Amino acid sequence: MDENKLLVMHHPIYRIFYVSHDSQDLKIFSYIARDGASNVFKCNVFKSNKKGRREGEKKFSRYTNHYRVSEKL
């Protein structure tokens, strides 16, 4: 499998509770999601090794934050 296409985690958006990044190191981001099988909240933390991936993380954060706001309307 191509290293750039490796799937590490998979959570539907509706199971994601919180998304954040480290203010000191923007390559580090995390999210909390409820596990579908056990119904337990799990925190996932990742550190990007490439500078360009931060844009993807920002988009992910904006998308999930927008989803949460839209869900409450």
The range of the structural domain enclosing residue 38 comes to 3-72
**Position 16 pLDDT exceeds 70:** yes
Provide the greatest CA pair distance for the chain. Answer: 41
User: Cβ atoms within 10 A of the Cβ of 42, count?
Assistant: 14
Tell me how many domains the chain contains.
1
**Position 68 pLDDT exceeds 80:** no
CA distance 39 to 55: 30
Q: Domain holding 33: CATH number?
A: 2.30.29.30
**Position 7 pLDDT exceeds 60:** yes
